[in-house]
Amino acid sequence: MSHRFESITRSLITAALLCAGMLSNVDAAPKVYTCVTANGRTLTSDRPIVECLDREQRILAPDGTLQGFVPPSLTADERAERENRDRQLAAARQMKAEAVKRDRSLVMRFPDADSHQKAREAALTNLQIAMRASEQRQRELANERKPLLSEAEFYAGKALPAKLREQLDANDAAMAAQRDAQVNQKAELERINSYFDIELERLKRLWAGAAPGSLEPIADAPVPPAKAVALPAKPAAVRSGKL
């Protein structure tokens, strides 16, 4: 009986040692930690990942078998702060990538000063046509007004005939419209030239060797010029033949 008890005891001890050895081997086996960051990047490491302290990390065996999880180690406020910082970093990276793309595209479109000057002239062509048309229209209206004023002299101190009064009022309205158009055209001329001046300064630095995306953003830069500038429209009275 004693001999049998000793045999059973030795078997249990051996089994316990074997189990302990197996557990030890499991703990000592290499592990793979993996997680997905706030901006969608999948990271892996042989130790807990610092970039994913705010989120759950999976623990995998070398063969890909899931062994467990590492829970987030940050508080709710810390996680919110971390996520906000991640968003800011992602936005900064996106802005940097866009700046590089814009600068490269700019240099491809304008490899030298001559090509840029031609683009400026092309952008101004329609506007200059419109400005000349406004000037011509003002001269026409001034000439059309002279006989009206001569006729009005016959009615000094009297009420003007309705038709003559209507023609003078329409002439006044047309002249005012052309003056407004000229104000807008001059403002547009300055805006287009300002746009190309700012762009040229940036190009000069890029042509000199500045890396795309390395230059500071242009604050309050004007928008690119329109492809076409409409000619000033004539008032309805002019189109109908009253002037």
Q: 170, 237 in Cβ contact below 8 A? A: yes
- Per domain, the residue ranges of the chain are 31-109, 112-239
pLDDT in tens, 105-139: 999 999 999 999 999 999 999 999 999 999 999 99
Strands (E), the chain: 32-36, 42-45, 57-60, 66-70
User: What would the two tokens of residue 196 be?
Assistant: 């190309």
For residue 220, the model assigns a pLDDT of 61
Q: Give CA–CA dist 23/70, Å, rounded.
A: 20
- Token pair 């042989």 in the structure block, residue: 46
183: helix, coil or strand? helix
How much is the pTM?
0.58
Provide the pairing of β-strand 66-70 with 32-36.
Answer: unpaired
Q: What is the mean pLDDT of the chain?
A: 82
pLDDT in tens, 132-165: 999 999 999 999 999 999 999 988 888 999 999 9
